[in-house]
Amino acid sequence: MRVRLEDVARAASVSPKTVSRVLNDEANVSDDTRQRVLAAMQAMDYRPHPSARSLAGHRSFLVAMLYDNNDNPASTYLAEIQDGVLEACDEHRYSMMVRPLRMRSGDFIRRLDALIADHHPDGVVLTPPITDYAPLLKRLREAGVPHASVSPAHRGKGIIGVRMDEQQAARAIVEHLLALGHRRIAHVVGIADHGASRWRLAGYREALAAAGIAEDPVLVVQGAFTFGSGVEAARKLFALKKRPTAVFAANDDMAAGVMWAAGEYGIKVPHDLSVCGFDDIPLARQLWPALTTVRQPAREMGKLAALQLLEVVRDRSPGRLAQVGFSLEVRDSTARVP
């Protein structure tokens, strides 16, 4: 049969409440008692019943991860974040549930309310692009549900989660191209209202400006974070009288599209054209030539965001916006200007 808290109490010769204290890391337990209780738990392989804990303790031990399954970034990115969040939840014995939500759908808030009413998550992790959807944030605040964001565009105080300096990273990768002698560097932009698109574009501009190069508007083309949009953007660039010698795409999927299109035009990468991306998805290493890109540690970011959240949930700490570093993955798709 199931081992209950009461059984542990009896085995350790203490009251149930004391076992409960140990279980919840509360103060006011002598070290000696604590050890005895822990030993008994271990020996009996005690597993607290989450529903009982939740019912009596008015908390759910549940973290919900919200994502937009309509207008979302590459699913590999989300999957990595999900794994990271899950890892953090596991470590703290929280469970995680995932909720796809459609930002553009009219019942967004109703569905959010249903989630809260039905499951009472102790906290919520937000992923791009819904990290910055004002009605969502407002509703969460009203409902008193703590939330942490992965790569929020907003930087207001009270925002907790994880960010990466994407602008700095974008600048770094463009500087890598500049160092190779490139001067006509194109940029394929991501979906317009995503923070990621803005930061990466800003980094591109910053690098050019710092090098004293005037931006040529025809070299900045709109994409949509998909492979196909990368192909299309590249075709526009290749149709120019004066083609770029390098392309910085705002993510790897689009960079792959650019390389694909280069193949169509008989343009050799990296000999005739350097291409680089952003994110370092698994595909980046599989392309040929392997893609030079910025590594964004999505899994780690998911984990860190969840850890920030759990700190707030458990210790009522104020929480903070952590920052993770990036790294330049210089591979074979970039070379000296022809």
* Out of 23, 97, 220, 267, the residue judged to bind DNA by CB under 7 A: 23
* Out of 5, 19, 22, 86, the residue judged to bind a second copy by CB under 8 A: 86
CB of 257 to a second copy, least distance (A): 7
Q: How far apart are CA 101 and CA 111, in angstroms?
A: 8
61: left (phi over 0), alpha (psi -120 to 50) or beta: left
Q: How far apart are CA 280 and CA 285, in angstroms?
A: 8
* Bridge pairing between strands 274-276 and 220-222: unpaired
CB of 237 to DNA, least distance (A): 60
The identity of residue 300, as a single letter, is E
CB of 317 to a second copy, least distance (A): 25
Peptide bond into 100 cis (omega under 30): no
* Out of 35, 39, 43, 57, the residue judged to bind DNA by CB under 7 A: 57
316 binds DNA (CB under 7 A): no
Q: Residue 119 pairs with which residues in a beta bridge?
A: none
Place of tokens 């923070």: 195
5 binds, among a second copy, DNA, none (CB under 5 to 8 A by kind): DNA
* Out of 35, 43, 49, 75, the residue judged to bind DNA by CB under 7 A: 49
* Out of 135, 158, 181, 263, the residue judged to bind a second copy by CB under 8 A: 263
The DSSP 8-state label assigned to residue 269 in this structure reads T
5 binds DNA (CB under 7 A): yes
Contact between 81 and 298 under an 8 Å Cβ cutoff? The reply is yes
Classify 227 as helix, strand or coil.
helix
* Out of 24, 105, 323, 327, the residue judged to bind DNA by CB under 7 A: 24
CB of 25 to a second copy, least distance (A): 18
Contact between 113 and 139 under an 8 Å Cβ cutoff? The reply is yes
* Out of 13, 15, 35, 69, the residue judged to bind a second copy by CB under 8 A: 69
14 binds DNA (CB under 7 A): yes
**What are 274's two structure tokens?**
């350097």
C-alpha pair distances (Å), 70 with each of 64, 74, 78, 114, 227:
18, 11, 13, 19, 16
144 binds a second copy (CB under 8 A): no
CB of 208 to DNA, least distance (A): 56
CB of 51 to a second copy, least distance (A): 4
The identity of residue 289, as a single letter, is P
Q: How far apart are CA 72 and CA 75, in angstroms?
A: 7
Q: Which residues bind DNA (CB under 7 A)?
A: 2, 4-6, 13-21, 23-24, 27-30, 32-33, 47-49, 52-53, 55-58
Q: Which residues bind a second copy (CB under 8 A)?
A: 45, 47, 49-52, 54-55, 60, 69, 75-76, 78-79, 82-83, 86, 93, 95-100, 117-119, 226-229, 231, 257, 260-261, 263-264, 282-283, 285-288
